[in-house]
Structure 1
Amino acid sequence: MSTDDKRIREFAYQIWESEGKPEGQEARHWEMARKLAEAEALAPKKSPKATGGKTAASKPAAGKALNGKAEPKTKAKAKPVAASKVIPPGEKAAEKKPRAARKPPAV
């Protein structure tokens, strides 16, 4: 099996999973995956400058500078609000009911 066939198989599997694992859609998934793999192969490769510029070998270990002294750690970037939490204008947010307390397990 060639590398291309393996990549197509991976794409087809991801498509199948993303659609809820339907039966009888193998040919459609395979064709979609083949097109994705073809587009991926034709896409220009990103230069190191476009992907961040530093490779793992040239990047100092986290928390260490090149001179051996520790660098201060930076805070993680804020994550965007989940789409499920966005409320369309003019609608009220649904109030959540408080969760019931759990009963201790019977001994």
Structure 2
Amino acid sequence: MSTDDKRIREFAYQIWESEGKPEGQEARHWEMARKLAEAEALAPKKPAKAAASKPAAGKTLNGKASDNKVAAPKAKTKPAAASAVIPPGEKSVKKPRAARKPPAV
């Protein structure tokens, strides 16, 4: 079995599991998996981050040295807590709000 066939088999299995392991859908899952593997093979490979992101040492496009500093990347925000995710078909339970104070007169 080639690596392509193994990858298609892995994709087909993942699709089958994600759909709740239905019976009689093998051909459809296999075709979907084949298309995914084909697209994956055609996708351009990501270059190494270190080599691709570093500019030439201290020179700008016009060849002069620059004093500009590159800003550090911003920190990513944390994903939502798993407890906040509500599965489809289930209603969310809202907490009652606290009573507001009347405006000062």
Calculate the TM-score normalised by the size of structure 2. 0.53
Distance 1:103 1:26 in 2: 62
- 1:98 Cα deviation (Å)? 15
Q: Percent identity?
A: 92
Higher alpha-carbon deviation: 84-93 or 35-44: 84-93
Q: Summarize the Cα distance change of 1:67–1:36 in structure 2 as closer, same or farther, 3 Å threshold.
A: same
Contact 1:60 1:66 in 2 (8 A): no
TM-score by length of structure 1 reads 0.53
**Alignment correspondent of 1:53:** none
Q: Deviations over 1:63-84 (max 9, x none)?
A: 99999999xxxx9976311477
Cα RMSD after superposing both structures: 12.2
Gaps in structure 2 of 5+ consecutive residues: 66-73
Summarize deviations over 1:40-65 as a string: whole Å, max 9, x none: 00000100128xxxxx9999999999
Q: Distance in 2 between matches of 1:104 and 1:16?
A: 57
Deviation at 1:24, TM superposition (A): 0.4
Larger Rg: 2
Q: Unpaired runs of 5+ in structure 1?
A: 51-55
Structure 1 Cα separation of the partners of residues 104 and 17 of structure 2: 40
Give the 4+ runs in structure 1 shifted more than 4 A. 56-70, 75-78, 86-93, 96-107
Does the C-alpha gap of structure 1 residues 69 and 19 become closer, same or farther in structure 2, counting only changes over 3 Å?
A: farther
Indicate conservation of the 8 Å contact 1:11/1:36, yes or no.
yes
Moved more, 15-24 or 84-93: 84-93
The alignment covers a number of residue pairs equal to 97
Question: Within 2, Cα distance between the matches of 1:60 and 1:11?
Answer: 38
- When residues 49 and 98 of structure 1 are mapped into structure 2, their CA distance, relative to the original with a 3 A threshold, is same
Aligned to 1:11: 11
